Amino acid sequence: MMKRPAEDKGAETIAVIDTNERGDHETGPYLEPLRRLLRAGLARLPWWLSEFLLFGLKQAWACLFGAIMLAMLIASKLVWQAEWPLYRYDFLFVAALSVQMLFLAFRLESWEEAKVILVYHVVGTLMEIFKVQMGSWSYPQPALIQIAGVPLFSGFMYASVGSFMARTIRIFDMRFTHFPPRWLTVVLALAIYVNFYSHHYLPDIRFVLFAATIAVFWRVNIHFTTDRTTLWMPLTLAAFLSSLFLWIAENIGTATGTWIYPSQTVWHAVSVSKLGSWYMLLYVSFVLVTLVLRPRPPENRPAFRGRG
């Protein structure tokens, strides 16, 4: 990661401070008080350490929906009783839907973002139905709110990925250099999604698709603002690091018995090869999110928005 050069660093710093003083920072009305409080408490620390800690705060806030979902998986596993009148999976669906509605009510997500997340929910649920029918994994517990053995809360696990991406782009004011043509990213995302189905009947071309993601996105750098410092990272590296965290989250899902793989008669960590699946799926998620949040170049910096 490298710091993005600025023509006038002093002017840039003043502009950020003025924006924050108006209360119109991109972090929005809920995260912004926390950001200011932490910024004041870290005033005596080296700039790089305070920026790192504020980066962590923003990242945690961006993960909020996913973190709530994981917390509900763990908590329900610990406390749920088989004799309770509501199935655990049905509770997870009702709770996840309630969280989504609260996010919209409190403007933690926009309706435009919710549309993409809904599409991702449907896309993810369709893949879940297919994969469960093919025996790739299963949901061992009963549910009323389900389709073909797939409890509908599972779609929210996919939606949490879309939520994370949308919130990260906004909270970190992400900009992208050398972004490829939209049609090319859509074609690549469709090819990846189709291969998740077709490899059960046709040769698996995932290695070709791995190479394609690098060929299409290798020049793309993400410019993101930690707090008062703008850094950059290759998009392909960001996708790999995100897939690592999703692999950890999947291990939490299987450890709580929420879904299991055929080999997990006794629980063990999910195969590292699943990192590749998550890496590919992240590009599908990213393309869906960019249909609403158009990628912007670093030099085009409109006023900050006050949402979420």
In this predicted structure, what is the pLDDT of residue 266? 87
In this predicted structure, what is the pLDDT of residue 228? 85
Per DSSP, 233 falls in state: E
In this predicted structure, what is the pLDDT of residue 190? 96
In this predicted structure, what is the pLDDT of residue 299? 67
In this predicted structure, what is the pLDDT of residue 115? 82
The low-confidence residues of the chain, meaning pLDDT below 50, are: 2, 4-25, 301-308
What's the domain count of the chain? 1
Report d(CA 296, CA 164) in Å as an integer.
18
Q: Which two tokens stand for residue 194?
A: 């189709």
**Residue 123 domain-assigned (yes or no):** yes
**Residue 59 domain-assigned (yes or no):** yes
**Residue 307 domain-assigned (yes or no):** no
**Residue 38 domain-assigned (yes or no):** yes
In this predicted structure, what is the pLDDT of residue 28? 66
In this predicted structure, what is the pLDDT of residue 21? 39
**Residue 161 belongs to domain spanning:** 2-290
**Residue 298 domain-assigned (yes or no):** no
**Residue 296 domain-assigned (yes or no):** no
In this predicted structure, what is the pLDDT of residue 178? 94
**Residue 299 domain-assigned (yes or no):** no
In this predicted structure, what is the pLDDT of residue 84? 94
In this predicted structure, what is the pLDDT of residue 2? 47
Per DSSP, 207 falls in state: H
Cβ count within 10 A of residue 95: 17
In this predicted structure, what is the pLDDT of residue 120? 83
For residue 145, is it left (φ>0), alpha (ψ between -120 and 50) or beta?
beta
In this predicted structure, what is the pLDDT of residue 116? 79
Cβ count within 10 A of residue 254: 17
**Residue 285 domain-assigned (yes or no):** yes
